[in-house]
A and B are shown apart, each in its own frame.
Chain A
Amino acid sequence: MLRSVRCVLGGVALLAALTAVQPRAGVAAEGRLYPSGPPNGVAYLRFVNLTPSEVTVTSPAAKIAIPADDAHRVGEFDPVTPGVALTGSAQLGGATKPINVTLTANEFVTVAVTADGDGIAVSTFRETPSDFNALKSSLALFNADKDCAKAQLVAGDNHQSVIADIAPDALGRRLVNPVNAALAVACGDPAQPVPAKLGQLNAGDRYSIFVVAGKAGPEIVAARDEQAPFRP
């Protein structure tokens, strides 16, 4: 089973190259003493490698490798300028897929790369979450397994449903209490799920659980979300 906790990689540099970084919000507009928030909005983009091998993502200005190991396969959400087309490609072995995504203000987009037979597939998950909360934990279930018609996140020995009926290429999100629950994902019988090992959930933190097709059935990548700050 695949598992990841966090990823700090050169994706920051790639995304800086993919698009102009949002101007710092602390810079006052002319004639104003007190600027208010990011002047043109902000959006966040991350890449996730759900394949068994290293993936290379190339933009017009940079190229980075996203390892397949558990500690590095889930990139951090990086701030990008909304309304700007971000183009590039993802490569797995000799197979490539184009990347062309334009984010809207306040949108969080996850570009997940999966193996598709001997080739490569790219899934784009889009959300504009409004559940940021320092008192709760936010769980998201991303279904990147086309063979999993209805993914379901369950908790505890009785497999209580937490997030249900997530179709392929879709995601579901839910706020939960910050507990150390045994989480798992089912694609069919909820009594036979695949464990999603996140351990103790922290208040205020956000988590992503990916379902991806493996050789012997669904596999799980579970990670705590990381959100990069603006860079000068």
Chain B
Amino acid sequence: MNALLAGLTILVIGDSHMVTRDYLITTLHDDLLAQGAQVDSYGMCGANAGDWVYPSTVSCGKAERIGKAGPEINRAPSTPTYQINQLIAKSHPNLIVIEMGDTMAGYGQKAFPQGWIYQQVHALTGRIAEQNIPCVWVGPPWGSEGSTYHKTFDRVKEMAEFLSTAVAPCRFIDSTQFSKPNEWPTIDGQHLTNSGYKAWGADIAAALDQMVPQMQLAKKP
């Protein structure tokens, strides 16, 4: 139990790293629960930041986990996107954690799509800022090179550096600082093994422990 997180309601949203049972929807969620927080987690496979703002559909699944219940995974081929305003209205969070980056980094593209990423990020952080809810953005881990996702360490580094200046007023957690390249193996170039998700979830939770005291979050009575 961590007195700093205990009593907080934390809304966690993310991409496909949240949409399989043993991924962050289990590991990070459990770590935050264990520290006494109320946690609601949502993931959308393949979603960009703007997909949480502008209603559309996702084509490779979504998942949610409310409090201490187990994850519910929906693999329907076309399903409506979660909308951040609706999730906020449902959870009333003190803190929002956003895990996102791999879907927007333009892996395989020669040029880094900075303007497009910024618009996506700004759309989501702007919605959260409108409601004066503190937020933390978690960037992507190294992953592996040479897969069909065309993820490269250079582009991951570029993405992390850009997100660090683009996500304000959210704070930023740089996941590349948690491991060395190739230290966390992947199953497909992008998604980690179960042990990797355990390590990533624990490292994110530990980073939140350090950030929360600086964020002066208002706990619910």
Residues of A near any B CB (own CB < 8 A): 24-28, 31-38, 41-42, 44, 79, 105-106, 108, 128-130, 132-135, 203-204, 227, 229-230, 232
Contact = CB atoms under 8 A, between A and B. Distances in A.
B69 interface: no
Contacts of A36: 102-108, 149-151
A229 B56 CA distance: 12
28 contacts: A25-B48, A26-B56, A26-B57, A26-B58, A26-B59, A28-B59, A32-B149, A33-B45, A34-B102, A34-B103, A34-B190, A36-B102, A36-B104, A36-B151, A37-B117, A38-B106, A38-B113, A41-B113, A42-B115, A42-B116, A44-B115, A106-B114, A132-B117, A132-B165, A133-B166, A134-B169, A204-B168, A227-B115
Given A37-B104, A41-B109, A132 B114 contact: yes
Contact of B148 (A24, A32, A42, A108): A32
Contacts of A105: 109-111, 113
B202 to A, nearest CB: 23
A229 B114 CA distance: 14
B60 A204 contact: no
Interface in B102-143: 102-123, 125
Contacts of B151: 36
A31 B150 CA distance: 14
Contact of A34 (B111, B120, B166, B191): B191
A24 B35 CA distance: 38
The 5 closest A-B pairs by CB, nearest first: A37-B106, A132-B118, A134-B168, A36-B107, A28-B60
B109 A227 contact: no
B196 interface: no
Interface in B156-176: 162, 165-169
Contact of A26 (B46, B106, B121, B122): B46
A37 B54 contact: no
B46 A27 contact: yes
Nearest to B162: A132
Contacts of A44: 115
Given A229-B50, A230-B50, A106 B190 contact: no
A35 B151 CA distance: 11
A33 B115 contact: no
B103 to A, nearest CB: 6
Contact of B114 (A26, A129, A232): A129
Given A34-B102, A133-B165, A135-B165, A24 B56 contact: yes
A39 to B, nearest CB: 8
A42 B60 CA distance: 23
